[in-house]
Structure 1
């Protein structure tokens, strides 16, 4: 198809508009995953190891939040960052920072829930040893996170996949402004509606390539970790 050939040419020649969109997409998604991981990994690990009243209810809510509708998250962040909102003075609405916040909110429950399950399974294996060594709650969390670091790559990968594929929330809080807040997914949606299929297909090719590359790196890291542990 001619459109496919044109799309491939855009990718191979490094079209400036395409590269700018890809660069912003990676910055936003990776920043969101890093921020979410800093919050969600310790939270998920603590939830797996610490018993407290209402713990099961928290787990149920956390698992439910994994399926948060992106447009609802986008609306909530929009209201918080709007001029009339509690964070309106920050002036972040329709900026990449607002998009990072929205994606962080979406990604954090996924990473936290998967971390909780991973650490909980690992605790069954190390419980007797850590109890005998009289390791406290904080020490248990730190020890098991470190031991599960390669397995947790899967949780981070799931978070990145959710962030990279997100459209609704970042359109609401970012505005899809050309050259400023336009990402791969929002550009694909816009260019398809405009009939500019070469750019849309080119961005789709790059997005798929990035997802495949990230999966390959994660698989390699996990296999390397398993060999080290073995």
Structure 2
């Protein structure tokens, strides 16, 4: 028990002192998480709308594929992405292996199915009569899709929370693609692993506490926004 208390005390001292190594790791974590979530939203929202609203052959297969993507093994994704990025590989000329940019690519691949699948589920829950009315009034496909996205914004926020949470806590894929290089490609999650292996428990606890606080604060902010939208929709419906 004393060992744990000493670790927590050391963690508090590191956080209060503003250890530059911890701040650097925090910067990499936020960079990877925010950019990968943004890219996943840019690509995943249209895919989710297409799967949720479209009527085409193979739609069920597309939905099944998106849902299966929710369980993608991160280590396998990291392996596949790294095989494409290594020198001499198809995308090796981009020099993205062992870089933050390469980590963003890997995390985007992991976050994309989360956004697509949850967006598809959300827009499928939109009142069909509302969309039919919009089409009857001459709305284009783009306008109908925008209407569906607006009505499903509570679910879209859930997709954003899921993608961002995945990005903040990812380890396996980012270690394989980024190399977990201290001062360059370490994130909070991967740094915890290194600190524990090195016996630096105070720093491991500090990084873990910072990661938990970061995930909680961001998720709480998005959840407040999500529930505010849900309450507004319920008030409007009544």
Bin for the TM-score computed over the shorter chain: over 0.9
Residue in structure 1 matched with residue 12 of structure 2 by the alignment: 8
Say if 1:49 and 1:137, in contact at 8 Å, map to a contact too: no
1: distance between equivalents of 2:214 and 2:189? 13
The aligned runs of 1:210-221 (5 Å cut-off) are 210-221=214-225
Residue in structure 2 matched with residue 113 of structure 1 by the alignment: 117
2: distance between equivalents of 1:166 and 1:219? 21
The aligned runs of 1:109-188 (5 Å cut-off) are 109-124=113-128, 126-188=130-192
Residue in structure 2 matched with residue 61 of structure 1 by the alignment: 65
5+ long unaligned stretches in structure 1: none
5+ long unaligned stretches in structure 2: none
Instruction: Answer yes or no: is 1:192 the counterpart of 2:190.
Output: no
Residue in structure 1 matched with residue 52 of structure 2 by the alignment: 48
Aligned length: 230
Deviating above 6 A after TM superposition, structure 1's stretches of 4 or more consecutive aligned residues are none
Say if 1:107 and 1:162, in contact at 8 Å, map to a contact too: yes
Q: Secondary structure of the equivalent of 2:45?
A: helix
1:22-79 residue CA offsets vs partner (Å, 9 max, x unmatched): 1110111111000000000111012111111111111111111111101111011101
2: distance between equivalents of 1:222 and 1:209? 20
2: distance between equivalents of 1:182 and 1:170? 9
